[in-house]
Amino acid sequence: MQNKGLSQNLVLKELESRLRNDFAYDSGKIIGSMCTCPHPLARKVYNRFLDINLGDSGLFPAVVKLEKETIHMLGTLLSNLEASGHIVTGGTEANTLALWAAKKLSKKKQCEVIMPASAHYSFDKAADLLGLRIVRVGLNDGFQVDVEAVKKAVNLNTIAIVGIAGTTGLGVVDPISELSKIAVENDLYLHVDAAFGGFVLSFLKELGFNVSDFDFALPGVCSITIDPHKMGLAPIPAGGILFRNERLRKAVAWNVSYLAGGETEQATFVGTRSGTSVIAVWALLKHLGREGYKRIVRRCMRLTEKLAEEIPKIKGLDIVTEPTMNIVGLKSEVFDIRQIAKELRFRKWAVSLFPNYIRIVVMPHVRKHHIERFIEDLKDIIDKLGG
Ligand code: 0PR
């Protein structure tokens, strides 16, 4: 750090120039990410309440109430008026809290958690931290978890099952109702990772899409991750963890007795945490409502359908599976997918590369002309590669 500080203007100028060449959502080039431009109202609200720390919740009882209302609104979306939980730093913290609760609620010594091969790596981090053994099971032809394999994997050490409602790679929804049955029959904790899908699936259902059950309507579901900073249009950081009821949430709650705000309780992984993130999510849910989110999801799905229609028209390219939500997997039997990704990145398309396919996420910042340009560039690349 230098001795004498720079003027605010100089600092801002330097930042503008240093960050200018990073990717920006509104360029439309970020086409493989699960984040998007925050809604303008969320930006406004976020800036306004930056100083609120929900780690000392006794100081901010009104914000505690806003968080409860936020969780209640999300709970209603996920078929549970009794849901209890928190707005956290993201899906990683939410998934970690879920496994932590499962571990604390179990009396077992060697704890195993069964999850699909498609589960996000945040579960590996959580398991490492919590001393859990992950048992990964294979997928069926539709890239959903193989239910029979889950049944076979259950043993005396099993404490929990994880199902995914919107996989990271392809947006596939596991047969959560089947997992729920297994969980109920074996008295196991079932966590559903709807970090991405939570803000999509309920709206798709209302829009008439064929969406299988994935939420608290299923009796075995104990907790759900639903991230506002993905399809919820909230500023980062805003993840969501919802437990079926207060008893489950209490499993990860700690009492803090000495704070100026009075005796308090923390049931999040972090201590000091952003109150303004919570307020921004509350504001968005109030402002957009179901209708607003439905409109956004409908637009994303229309573009996704267009993309999924155009890709197979290009010789040598195909989609991995029909999209369930606004995620498309692009594959090729003819060309090296890494080569295609390299060419796309060379043309400044920010796509995600999985082992056998390229992931495209049609987030709200992606517009029709971006998709059209992307398709043109893909055609060009395939021509160049000798298609
Ligand atoms: N669960 C699922 C199903 C996810 O897809 C993700 C992240 C998480 C949990 C973890 O969420 P946090 O990253 O909020 O902790 N999915 C994205 C991914 O790995 C995260 C992401 C978002 C990556 C935007 C890049 C990006 O530009 O692809």
Q: Which residue, among 361, 34, 97, has the nearest Cα to 224 in the 3D structure?
A: 97
Cα–ligand 1 centroid distance for 92 (angstroms): 8
Determine the residue of 25, 88, 120, 162 to mutate for testing ligand 1's pocket, defined as the one with the most ligand atoms within 8 A of the Cβ atom. 120
Q: 3-state class of 155 per DSSP? A: coil
Quote the CA–CA distance of 222 and 35 in Å, as a whole number. 26
Q: In what order do the strands lie in the sheet with 84-88?
A: 84-88, 239-243, 221-225, 189-193, 158-164, 112-116, 133-137
pLDDT of 191 reads: 99
What would the DSSP string read from start to end of 278-299? HHHHHHHHHHHHHHHHHHHHHH
d(CA 296, CA 304): 12
Q: What is the pLDDT of residue 69?
A: 98
**pLDDT tens by residue, the chain, 387 residues:** 999 999 999 999 999 999 999 999 999 999 999 999 999 999 999 999 999 999 999 999 999 999 999 999 999 999 999 999 999 999 999 999 999 999 999 989 999 999 999 999 999 999 999 999 999 999 999 999 999 999 999 999 999 999 999 999 999 999 999 999 999 999 999 999 999 999 999 999 999 999 999 999 999 999 999 999 999 999 999 999 999 999 999 999 999 999 999 999 999 999 999 999 999 999 999 999 999 999 999 999 999 999 999 999 999 999 999 999 999 999 999 999 999 999 999 999 999 999 999 999 999 999 999 999 999 999 999 999 986
Establish whether the linkage from the previous residue to 237 is cis, with ω within 30° of 0. yes
pTM: 0.98
Question: Is residue 243 lining ligand 1, measured as CB closer than 6 Å?
Answer: no
Pairing of strands 264-266, 254-256: antiparallel
Please check whether residue 238 is in contact with residue 277, taking contact to mean a CB–CB distance below 8 angstroms: yes
pLDDT of residue 387: 63
User: What φ, ψ does residue 351 adopt, rounded to 5°?
Assistant: -105, 160
Cα 121 to averaged position of ligand 1 atoms, centre (Å)? 9
> How far is Cα 86 from Cα 109, in angstroms, rounded to an integer?
28
Provide the strand spans (E) within 119-252.
Answer: 133-137, 158-164, 189-193, 221-225, 239-243
Among 146, 153, 210, residue whose Cα is nearest residue 178: 146
Separation of 263 CA from ligand 1 center, angstroms? 34
Nearest by Cα to 180 from 157, 214, 145: 214
Map tokens 């074996």 to a residue. Answer: 186
Instruction: Report which secondary-structure segment, H or E, holds 361.
Output: strand 358-361
Which conformational region is residue 284 in: left (phi greater than 0), alpha (psi within -120 to 50 degrees), or beta?
A: alpha
Going from N- to C-terminal start, the domains of the chain cover 25-38+290-384, 41-287
Between the CA of 6 and the centroid of ligand 1 the distance, in Å, is 36
- Tokens coding 94: 């939410």
Whether 96 is in the pocket of ligand 1, judged by its Cβ within 6 Å, is no
Give strand pairing partners of 224: 192, 242
Distance of alpha carbon 368 from alpha carbon 300, whole angstroms: 10
pLDDT score of 386: 85
CB of residue 118 inside a 6 A radius of ligand 1: no
174 CB near ligand 1 (under 6 Å): no
Neighbours of 206 (CB within 10 A): 15
CATH T-level assignment (fold) for domain 41-287? Aspartate Aminotransferase; domain 2 (3.40.640)
Helical (H) or strand (E) element with 301: helix 275-310
Question: What is the DSSP code (8-state) at residue 31?
Answer: -
Report the CATH superfamily, name and number, of domain 25-38+290-384. Aspartate Aminotransferase, domain 1 (3.90.1150.10)
Residue 107 confidence (pLDDT) = 87
Q: Which atom of ligand 1 is nearest to the CA of 168?
A: 5
